[in-house]
Every structure is written in structure tokens, then in C-alpha cells.
Amino acid sequence: MNHSLRICVGPTCGVNFSNDLLAETEDRPRDDVMVERCGCLGHCEEGPNLMLNGAVHIDMTPNRLRDLVNALPALPLGMEVSR
Ligand code: FES
């Protein structure tokens, strides 16, 4: 298992450009980060939002997402992240 990155594509995050976050992950893929789309994370007014390894991050931009992902430790394939 890898790092888990879930990007909210709920209605409010959607209108606040969560697609730009998805595009960032597609532009800079990492083998050890599993990216998924997800529904509302319950912080709509602060979106776009995502969940990284179980922690919600609000008011995201592609640059902030890039910084978060770059700060993740590289995982050997098959290693599980404890949550
Ligand atoms: S729509 Fe994204 S947190 Fe609610």
C-alpha cells in the first residue's frame, strides 16, 4: 500500500477548482501515492479540500498540494503507511 491522497470532487470543491488539484497529481505522478477522487469531506466552505493519509487539508491550491506531496517520505513499493 502507498500514501493515500483523496481529492474531494464534491459540488463545492468542484466549483472551487478541485480539478486543478487532480491535474497537479497527473502532471507529477508518484508511484507511492495512490490518488483517488472522493465525495464531500465535510469542510465545503473551505474547499477545495483533500485527505492525505487520513488527515484533511483545506483551502488547497496546486502549489500547496505539490509541497505536501514533496514532503512525503518515499515509500518502497508494497510498504504500508500506518494511520
Ligand atoms: S464538497 Fe468538498 S468538502 Fe464538501
Q: pTM value? A: 0.90
Q: How much is the pLDDT for 78? A: 62
pLDDT digits (tens, 9 = 90+) for 8-27: 999 999 999 999 999 999 99
DSSP label at 39?
A: -
In this prediction, what percent of the chain has a pLDDT beyond 70? 90
- Evaluated on CA atoms 6, 10, 13, 14, the torsion sign reads positive
**For residue 14, which atom of ligand 1 is closest to its CA?**
1
Match domain 3-70 to its CATH number in 3.40.50.720, 3.10.150.10, 3.40.50.410, 3.40.30.10.
Answer: 3.40.30.10
What are the cell numbers at 62? Answer: 496546486
Mutate to test the pocket of ligand 1, among 8, 21, 45, 59 (most ligand atoms within 8 A of CB): 8
Any idea where the domains of the chain sit in the sequence? 3-70
Q: What is the largest CA-CA distance in the chain?
A: 36
pLDDT of 57: 98
Per-residue pLDDT tens over the stretch 31-55: 999 999 999 999 999 999 999 999 9
CB 16, CB 59: distance < 8 Å:
no
